[in-house]
Structure 1
Amino acid sequence: MRVGVVGLGIMGAPMAMHLHKAGLLAAVYNRTRSKAEPFQKLGVYVADSPADLARRVDVAIIMVSDAPDVEQVLFGQGGVVEGARPGLVVVDMSTNSPDWARRFAERLAKHGIKFLDAPVTGGQKAAVEGTLTIMVGGDEALFRQLEPVFKAFGKTIVYAGPVGYGQAMKLVNQIVIALNTVAMVEGLRLAKALGLDLEKVAQVLSSGSARSGSIELYLPKLLRGDMSPGFKAAHLKKDLAYALELAHRMNLFVPGASLALELYKKMVERGLGELGIHALGEIY
């Protein structure tokens, strides 16, 4: 399979590099062309547009920020549908919502293009290490065909169900990440106020029942004062908004998730959205 990647950011670039190492990467595209230069030096074709990329690949992976960005990549001027032939597979690995996934699938089907929604979790560290967790929605037979692509940069690959189920599972994941991060930040604040040795606090939190992905990935960065993103606060705020929209539609009471969304909204309002999600304490 010839695979192309649109979006070479924090997550997309290392994912593309793993595809290159696996001999699957045929083309890349990024709006800021300089981010594609490392791939050009490796002999990978750098497309002029998503349409140009679509002409050269069997599978087009989209890894951009939000649903409107995916929509632009697919259906905007110079978008994937302009260059695609029937049978092309589009895999949206960004995070949005089940509604958007179904909408994309329906519109692409009119052009003879197949679709999977396959958001990931694990952050930049897992993307670099090739150990991402991938949640896939869509036709199961198509998912099985694309497993070699997912295995190039993923460790845990879960078929979630029909189109939209990958995004649904990711939103559940994001609520848990957000609340784990709130817990970590607030626990650390109390530890500082009590004058505890933070290295010893980290030792306890990393080995006992409080341990979580947030503790493992972000507590060491907090102790170093490193607020750089493995996952941006603005992106988590966006994901929580999608999750709360679904919960409210089903009349589900999710007070913890609602609180987390308000906290991350404050981060974005204060101009801190480009920091990592673990920098939440900056607003307290």
Structure 2
Amino acid sequence: MNNEKNNLTIGFIGIGVMGKSMAGHLMNAGYNLHIYTRTKDKADDLISQGAIWKNSVVELTKQADIIITMIGYPQDVESIYLGTNGIISNANKGTYLIDMTTSTPTLAQKIAQHAKEKGLFSLDAPVSGGDIGAREARLTIMVGGESGAFEVCKPILEKMGANIILQGEAGSGQHTKMCNQIAIATNMIGICESIVYARTAGLDPEKVLQSISAGAAGSWSLSNLAPRIIKEDYEPGFFVKHFIKDMGIALEEASSMGLEMPGLELAKQLYDELAIVGEEDRGTQALYKLWEHKK
């Protein structure tokens, strides 16, 4: 463990596929790490390495200087932050709150307003990079909130990510994450169709990938998820069910701004079909299995 001296206590809520690695980086950097998640077994590794388990959100909140959440759905975020037994009602004045869940811009703004009224500082800071980026501390972190709070929290965010940008006021981080998800959504369709085409044409998909990933078709998803498809590895770096949630948020936000998103609508339709056939707990690369189901 890094011997960096730091008296700050960080409370981390949500020890999932990505949260576990993210919390681990903070502990290894020398921060006092308190953790809570609904399924305690998921936190056993971190506890064995020195993280302090807390039995509830309230217990964690009352002892933390900075609270980070990385959970599932907007309704979970709203409950944990704004509920009677939630963070904002129980945090000490001056606490910094960082929600790294992909949620709605509107909810991020609501949390920021309630936090300000209680003398708290709030940032919405969703991430991109999947399980690989989380493990390697190379996440892209998109931040919304006040610049002062961002500067205080940036050294902590730098323990988890490599590309960290303040996008604007509260909600801006979530809007930026929607841009990210929109770009990925149609890209995944293209990646799947490309591999299907290669195999049908009798090509070696691995050799095809070597050629096209270095050219104009190159993308993070092509380099990191296409190899998993070829190996029939559909384990989640990011869950299908969470991606469907994100696309739904993006479509709702787009509609409220008077925008049409035909590519995003198609992608969500295909992922909804994937969930219907029982693949919602797979990684987003499992979209390829739709073509297998249609053979």
Bin for the TM-score computed over the shorter chain: over 0.9
Match of 2:261 among 251, 254, 257: 254
Unaligned stretches of 5+ residues in structure 1 = none
Residue in structure 1 matched with residue 4 of structure 2 by the alignment: none
Are the equivalent residues in 1 in contact too, given 2:26–2:33 (CA < 8 A)?
no
Unaligned stretches of 5+ residues in structure 2 = 1-7
Residue in structure 1 matched with residue 224 of structure 2 by the alignment: 217
Residue in structure 1 matched with residue 146 of structure 2 by the alignment: 139
Are the equivalent residues in 2 in contact too, given 1:116–1:137 (CA < 8 A)?
yes
Deviates more, 1:166-175 or 1:246-255: 246-255
Query: Aligned partners of 1:195 and 1:231: how far apart in 2?
Result: 30
Local SS of the residue matching 1:207: coil
Local SS of the residue matching 2:98: strand
Query: Aligned partners of 1:25 and 1:242: how far apart in 2?
Result: 34
Q: What are the within-5 Å matches in structure 2 for residues 78-89 of structure 1? A: 78-89=85-96
Letter in 2 for 1:193: T
Query: Aligned partners of 1:103 and 1:247: how far apart in 2?
Result: 19
Match of 1:27 among 29, 34, 39: 34
Residue in structure 2 matched with residue 100 of structure 1 by the alignment: 107
Query: Aligned partners of 1:101 and 1:21: how far apart in 2?
Result: 29
Residue in structure 2 matched with residue 75 of structure 1 by the alignment: 82
Residue in structure 1 matched with residue 178 of structure 2 by the alignment: 171
Over the residues paired in the alignment, what is the CA RMSD in angstroms?
Answer: 1.3
| 1:202 is the counterpart of 2:214 | no
Deviation at 1:77, TM superposition (A): 5.4
Query: Aligned partners of 1:64 and 1:142: how far apart in 2?
Result: 21
Are the equivalent residues in 1 in contact too, given 2:65–2:95 (CA < 8 A)?
yes
Query: Aligned partners of 2:75 and 2:261: how far apart in 1?
Result: 26
CA displacement 1:194-222 (0-9 Å, x = unmatched): 11111111111221111111111101111
Query: Aligned partners of 1:100 and 1:78: how far apart in 2?
Result: 18
Query: Aligned partners of 1:81 and 1:197: how far apart in 2?
Result: 54
Deviation at 1:82, TM superposition (A): 4.5
Residue in structure 2 matched with residue 238 of structure 1 by the alignment: 245
Query: Aligned partners of 1:96 and 1:40: how far apart in 2?
Result: 28
Residue in structure 1 matched with residue 272 of structure 2 by the alignment: 265
Deviation at 1:34, TM superposition (A): 1.1
Letter in 2 for 1:92: D
Deviation at 1:249, TM superposition (A): 1.5
Number of matched pairs: 284
Query: Aligned partners of 1:66 and 1:111: how far apart in 2?
Result: 24
Residue in structure 2 matched with residue 62 of structure 1 by the alignment: 69
Query: Aligned partners of 1:81 and 1:258: how far apart in 2?
Result: 35
Query: Aligned partners of 2:49 and 2:25: how far apart in 1?
Result: 13
Query: Aligned partners of 1:86 and 1:251: how far apart in 2?
Result: 39
CA displacement 1:225-265 (0-9 Å, x = unmatched): 10111111111111111111111122212211111111111
1:25–1:180 CA distance, 2 compared to 1 (3 A): farther
Are the equivalent residues in 2 in contact too, given 1:177–1:213 (CA < 8 A)?
no
- TM, length-normalised to structure 2: 0.93
Query: Aligned partners of 1:254 and 1:145: how far apart in 2?
Result: 37
Deviation at 1:108, TM superposition (A): 2.7
Query: Aligned partners of 1:59 and 1:106: how far apart in 2?
Result: 18
Letter in 1 for 2:224: L
Are the equivalent residues in 2 in contact too, given 1:29–1:50 (CA < 8 A)?
yes
1:47–1:77 CA distance, 2 compared to 1 (3 A): farther
- What's the % identity of the aligned pairs? 37
Query: Aligned partners of 1:201 and 1:43: how far apart in 2?
Result: 45
Query: Aligned partners of 2:264 and 2:203: how far apart in 1?
Result: 29
Are the equivalent residues in 2 in contact too, given 1:26–1:56 (CA < 8 A)?
no
Residue in structure 1 matched with residue 11 of structure 2 by the alignment: 4
Query: Aligned partners of 1:108 and 1:266: how far apart in 2?
Result: 39
Local SS of the residue matching 1:57: coil
Letter in 2 for 1:204: S
Deviation at 1:107, TM superposition (A): 2.4
Query: Aligned partners of 2:217 and 2:262: how far apart in 1?
Result: 21
Match of 1:153 among 160, 167, 170: 160
Deviates more, 1:28-37 or 1:130-139: 28-37
Deviates more, 1:47-56 or 1:165-174: 47-56
Query: Aligned partners of 1:200 and 1:26: how far apart in 2?
Result: 45
Residue in structure 2 matched with residue 118 of structure 1 by the alignment: 125
- TM, length-normalised to structure 1: 0.96
